[in-house]
Amino acid sequence: MNLPLIERSQQNKERIAIVATEGKFTYRDLLETSAQVAACLIEDSQDLQEQRIAFIVPSGFEYVAIQWGIWRAGGVAVPLCVSHPQPELDYAIGDSGASVVIAHPQFEDLVRPIAAERGLRFISAKELYSVDIGFLPEIALDRRAQMLYTSGTTGKPKGVVTTHSNIKTQVTSLISAWGWTSSDRILHVLPLHHIHGIINVLTCALWAGAECHMMVKFDTEAVWNRIVKSNLTVFMAVPTIYVKLINAWESTNPDRQKVMSDACRKMRLMVSGSAALPVQVLEKWQNISGHFLLERYGMTEIGMALSNSLEGERFAGYVGKPLPQIEVRLVDENGDLAPVGEPGEIQVRGPGVFLEYWQKPEATIQAFQDGWFRTGDLAILENNNYRILGRMSVDIIKTGGYKVSALEIEEVLRIHPNILECAVVGVQDPEWGQRVCAALVLQPKTSLTLEALRRWAKERLAVYKVPTKIITVEGLPRNAMGKVTKPKVSQLFEQKS
Ligand code: AMP
């Protein structure tokens, strides 16, 4: 059997699939170029047999052709983050056991040494397209398709593995719930190593035979220009992006504001997710755009689980009801169903739920209770709509739509010669959702400014993981067991601001 995404594209060959800085591309272009990529990857073998193929390519036509090429060759796509420094890329390449690393010329210098060091095949993206298309294997839907790296409480990110069947469920659930059709045109402004950008925006659009307008990176003015000029029908973003768009709208002149607002009003759907949407942001955006944002809740491991309704009433501060093909329940601390009206951990079951954490069987087993995935998020059901109360673990920080592990940041900060001890926490912030803040105990007779720490940390951590506030303390607050009490650390920052 051929992959459904490929089969469906055969029906839409002459339609525009991608609009990007490189130009406009049809579904025929995607089919042909991805077949070349697949042929180049397969070489003399029949099928990649789920080899992991890591790739670092900016958002655009090439990204999609490579992703599809990996799938058509029978490989597992491991998209790398274009803004990560070398150590983080090295971790994902090493942990996934990738056999091949593909890089856009812009990233060659960054990842070629990693491939060389690990003895892996390295392919520059420009060498991918010259091969004659030969035999391509048939891919069963229960095979592994993708691995996305996500942070957990245990520090280092884990590879979340989904099958083609998982992806099909995640996508078809959203296609029916959000009314996707081939007439849609969506603006893609999100990173392409994360589920939001890969599944909700890119794959839903292409599954529907719609147009996906891809921007290399988010830029507020450029996004507003595209909204005004591109006759879009759908837009999806994280709350931080809506905050930036609001700020830009507020600081422009009334004539331009009207043009911007009119363009938004012509769209059929605007969605927010990946972090809690503050009600003030929802209200401001409604005044500007006429859209009451559709908020949804999901996770790398499960795809989307809860969503406000497309046609029915939406409620500010709520993420709605379970999506098609998803079952949701709330469970209390004892592992029993939470009593009606009481908060509980969101647990999720259904064919869209991921297969495994890559080579972490223990972590995979622990992530489930009786076949239900334990999300680690707390929620409450009120008037048949779910309200998210937050992460159960304080160590996961959501900043600007990214999820980062405090433990992982602490590991890195502790390498700094002036830092004796540290504790990283997320402190609520209207723009970023949470800010990464670090309480530091310094080595005797040393000092450290925020600027100096940030310069140092940016070489070792993705920029959104680098603390934006620090505080120096004599000692960290600890409980009787000697464990650092994070809520007390957070209070230190709240008292300060
Ligand atoms: P990720 O796997 O990076 O997409 O992060 C998933 C996490 O983001 C969830 O476990 C939630 O903690 C959080 N999240 C996603 N959507 C929402 C939302 N609408 N409201 C609050 N938190 C959300």
Render pLDDT for 244-256 as a digit per residue (tens, 0 to 9).
Answer: 999 999 999 999 9
Mutate to test the pocket of ligand 1, among 160, 200, 375, 388 (most ligand atoms within 8 A of CB): 388
Q: Which two tokens stand for residue 140?
A: 């069963």
Instruction: Provide the whole-model pTM.
Output: 0.86
Quick check: CB of 274 below 6 Å from ligand 1?
yes
The Å distance, Cα 360 to ligand 1 centre, comes to 22
DSSP state of 203: I
User: Each residue of 350-362: pLDDT tens digit?
Assistant: 999 999 999 999 9
pLDDT band at 485 (very low <50, low <70, confident <90, very high): confident
Mutate to test the pocket of ligand 1, among 198, 403, 405, 428 (most ligand atoms within 8 A of CB): 403
Phi-psi region of 335 (alpha: psi -120 to 50; beta: other; left: phi over 0): left
Point out the least confidently predicted range of 38-47, 260-269, 389-398, 445-454: 389-398
Quick check: CB of 198 below 6 Å from ligand 1?
no
Q: Which two tokens stand for residue 289?
A: 């755009």
Give backbone dihedrals phi and psi of 171, rounded to 5 degrees, phi first: -75, -50
**Which residue CA neighbors atom 9 of ligand 1 most closely?**
299
**Residue 225 pLDDT > 60:** yes
User: Each residue of 133-153: pLDDT tens digit?
Assistant: 778 999 999 999 999 998 654
Closest CA to 302 of 334, 272, 337, 327: 327
CATH of 201-391, one of 3.90.1170.50, 3.40.50.12780, 3.40.50.300, 2.30.42.10: 3.40.50.12780
CA distance to 19, 60, 348, 374, 375, per residue, from 25 (Å): 6, 10, 37, 40, 38
- Proportion of the chain above pLDDT 70, given as a percent: 97
Quick check: CB of 345 below 6 Å from ligand 1?
no
Give the fold, CATH level 3, of 4-139. Rossmann fold (3.40.50)
- Contact (Cβ atoms closer than 8 angstroms) between residue 21 and residue 58: no
**Which residue CA neighbors atom 4 of ligand 1 most closely?**
299
| Extents of the domains making up the chain | 4-139, 201-391, 396-496
What is the CATH architecture of 396-496? 2-Layer Sandwich (3.30)
Q: Which two tokens stand for residue 39?
A: 């042929």
What's the count of helices (H) and strands (E) in the chain, helices before strands?
A: 16, 26
User: Each residue of 198-208: pLDDT tens digit?
Assistant: 999 999 999 99
Domains 201-391 and 396-496 share a fold: no
Helix (H) or strand (E) holding 341: none
Q: Which two tokens stand for residue 119?
A: 């003895």
Quick check: CB of 276 below 6 Å from ligand 1?
yes
Quick check: CB of 150 below 6 Å from ligand 1?
yes
**Residue 155 pLDDT > 90:** no
